[in-house]
Amino acid sequence: MRFAVTAPLLLRLSVCLLAGLLLGCSPDFAGMATHRLDFARQNQGDIEIVAIQDLEKTGFIKGVLLAAEEINQRPHKLLGRTLKVNIETDAKTFDEVQPTIRRIAANPKITAVLGHRKSSIATPASLIYERSHIIFIPPIATAKGLTGRDFQYLFRMFPSNTVIAEQLANAAKTLGYKKMAMLYTRDDLSRELAFLFEEAGVKQQIQLIERSSFFEKEEDYRSVIAQFNNKPFDAIFISASDEPAGRMVKQLREMGINQPIIGRHSLHSKDYIRQAGSAAENTISPTILPIDNKNPLVTIFTQQYQTRYEKQPPDYEAAQGYDSVMLLANAIEQAGATLPTLLSSTLHYMPAWQGVTGLHAFDQSGELRGKHYYFESWQGGVWHSLPALHTPYLLERFETTLRQQYGTQRPLTPFSQAFPEHSQDEEHNTYLLDFAQEILQFKRIGIIYENIEESRKASGYDLLKAIAEQKNLQLVGCEITFSALDQAATERAITACYGKLSMTVDAMLIPPYHGIDANLIKRLNRNLAFFKIPAISLDIANADSSISLALGKRSDVSVLGVDGMQAYSSLLNGMKVHEFAERMKNLPELSVNLEELQRYGRSDRAILDLSPDNYLDARNTKP
């Protein structure tokens, strides 16, 4: 574990040294902060921000401008004011861009800076923005040391190297990789990710049979490859930027190494594919904007982007730019002002915010919570989604939080192990109800049922009773003799039960009401919303926006191993696709009404950990 200790230590020392160099004999940053505060108190004109154009000319700025245009087209704009975006250009190194950063800091009109793609620039830049009280939102920087320094004006927008490493290691284990080779370039960011992956791999019982570093500017890596090309292993982890990673993969294939490649998001780039060519086959890469994302927010964003930019599809940088502006605007609206201190505290403590690229919330140090990666594989010249591969990590993250919260006070279900192993519907639904209780933390659960065996089973009463006994919950039932009532009487009885239960329970399981008018059920569910009672459904296809939480088996996984699951056929180790598909099918899929749960005053900690794929909020269910 020598490297895991050394890298962060060196980073802290370098940051401290840089702080001395930047701030020891620097301009009056405290005076700049005071001028910014005074200006924010008096200004009623444009709200000004700076967006940094990266040298790679990604879609980041286009995403920023699209969001700003959308805000400025609203009737009341942003607090009744126009959002003005000033565009500056980044540089290759911090020294080159430092004059620009200081010029930005000296301008009291600037509320926030969005940009600085590289961690090597974003980290030292954050020192200047912090001292001058500018909200700083770097869109792509992943270095672990970016946060954790008690800064109040820094907010990470991209999952850190720690999250990347944990997700990659979890995905590798899920695919059956037990022995891996690790290759990384010697720059700080790549080394940090490599060491974090090694640490995460140990927890997943992955053995690294080779650890080799290489210089990214070299052209010939064959001597490095020769050190392990005769050893048995299941896959190769690469931590490097796009072009050296592409050269390395091409030479790996030339030397007869055809195992899958897994690495950071830099592999999900045109430059990596260009360098590697056909050798990129079976590359697994994380992404925050998967190609098959059916989230309505993603669909709307994509349509707007292609309309604005001549049908050009947005890249993930464009989505990051869009979300950065929308997140900032949401915070400004909640704060009701652009005062730096007020805006900072609003961002730190505001509820989870749903953007195009996922959930966003921040801890005390500005570390991002909620957001996670999906996975895709390059096969046959295109990227293919890897359905549900991100889910085991989210379950483990959720379980970790539960263990931290409860310790040994009570038994906790190991959901990440239990779900894949239980495919029978009744048994699976029992775990789903257990899962729902841990998410919503209800103590009194209500249900409407008919007290005959077949009806109790169909409604979920028997399963709910078993869970209530197991977890010491109160089950409150309302009995209706459905079989003896006509439709009008049935509707009156259901209405009465909703009224009774809404006064005594803190959650309600909504059974499938066969033969009952669906519009009536939706109206009654809205009454539950009035009483702030979460409604739970075990039908993942339930799109009623009054449902708080819908759970079911994965809808994106074919149990036969066909459709999207075919992408796994050349990636799995020790498993057949249909066997793997059966396990993945049993993983839970969630649909959540985040807005309603927040209105009810429910903690969004579990939702942030699980970061659902689907949302039932009213804004996402409009035709």
**Where are the alpha helices (H) located in 460-586, listed in sequence order?**
461-471, 487-502, 518-530, 577-585
Helices 316-335, 296-308: crossing angle, 10 deg rounding: 110
Is the pLDDT confidence value at 2 over 50?
no
Buried b (16+ CB within 10 A) or exposed e, 357-375: bbbbbbeebbbbbbbbbbb
Helical segments of 185-337, H only: 188-203, 222-225, 242-254, 270-276, 296-308, 316-335
- Nearest-5° Cα angle at 554, 551 to 560: 145
Parallel, antiparallel, or unpaired: how do β-strands 47-53 and 110-114 relate? Answer: parallel
∠ CA 467-472-476, nearest 5°, is 70
SS3 37: helix
Q: What is the pLDDT of residue 10?
A: 42
What mean pLDDT comes out for the span 246-269? 97
- Distance from C-alpha of 311 to C-alpha of 305, rounded to nearest angstrom: 8
Q: Please, are residues 245 and 267 in contact by the beta-carbon 8 Å criterion?
A: yes
Res 280: pLDDT: 98
Mean pLDDT of the region 435-443: 97
Half-sphere exposure (Cβ direction) of 313: Cα atoms closer than 13 Å: 7
Provide the phi-psi class of 115: left if phi over 0, else alpha when psi is between -120 and 50, else beta: left
Does the pLDDT value for residue 530 go beyond 90?
no
Q: How far is CA 412 from the centre of its chain?
A: 24
Is residue 620 very low, low, confident or very high in pLDDT (cuts 50, 70, 90)? Answer: very low
pLDDT value, residue 622: 39
Q: For residue 595, name the pLDDT band (cuts at 50, 70, 90).
A: very high
Provide the pLDDT confidence category of residue 423 given band limits of 50, 70 and 90.
confident
Pick from 22-26, 551-555, 564-568: least confident: 22-26
| H/E element, 237 | strand 235-239
* 266 DSSP assignment: G
- Rounded (5°) CA angle 326-331-334: 125
For 534, phi then psi, to 5°, come to -65, 135
Q: Which range has the worst mean pLDDT, 42-51, 72-81, 179-188, 445-454? A: 445-454
pLDDT interval class at 572 (50, 70, 90) = very high
Confidence of residue 286 (pLDDT cuts 50, 70, 90): very high
Do 183 and 248 meet the contact criterion of CB atoms below 8 Å apart?
A: yes
79: left (phi over 0), alpha (psi -120 to 50) or beta: left
Distance of alpha carbon 201 from alpha carbon 174, whole angstroms: 12
Alpha carbon distance 175, 234 (integer Å): 10
What average pLDDT does this structure show over 97-119?
Answer: 97
Residue 148 near residue 12, CB atoms below 8 Å: no
- What does the pLDDT read at residue 75? 96
d(CA 309, CA 597): 36
pLDDT over threshold 60, residue 536: yes
Is a pLDDT exceeding 70 seen at residue 346?
yes
Distance CA 528, CA 500 (A): 11
Reference 308, options 76, 64, 77, 74; nearest CA is: 64
**Please, what is the average pLDDT of the chain?**
92
Give the confidence band of 512 by pLDDT, cuts at 50, 70, 90: confident
Q: How far apart are CA 425 and CA 272, in angstroms?
A: 44
Sign of CA dihedral 70, 71, 72, 73: positive
pLDDT above 50 for 15: no
Q: How far apart are CA 434 and CA 411, in angstroms?
A: 12
- pLDDT of amino acid 538: 95
Nearest to 206 by CA among 232, 183, 176, 227: 176
How confident is the model at residue 455, as a pLDDT?
86
Where does the pLDDT of residue 618 fall: very low under 50, low under 70, confident under 90, or very high at 90 and above? very low
Burial-class residue 612 by CB neighbours within 10 Å (0-12, 13-18, 19+): buried
| Span 148-164, pLDDT tens digits | 888 999 999 999 999 99
Tell me what pLDDT residue 458 has. Answer: 87
Domains annotated for the chain, with CATH where assigned, are 24-157+294-371 (3.40.50.2300), 162-287 (3.40.50.2300), 388-620 (3.40.50.2300)
Q: In this predicted structure, what is the pLDDT of residue 8? A: 47
Which uninterrupted H or E stretch holds 11? helix 2-23
CA distance 511 to 525: 12
On whether the CB atoms of residues 268 and 285 are closer than 8 A, the answer is yes
pLDDT in tens, 463-504: 999 999 999 999 999 999 988 998 889 889 988 998 999 899
pLDDT tens digits for 289-327? Answer: 998 887 889 999 999 999 999 888 999 999 999 999 999
Q: Looking at residue 336, what is its pLDDT?
A: 97
pLDDT in tens, 392-420: 999 999 999 999 999 888 889 999 999 99
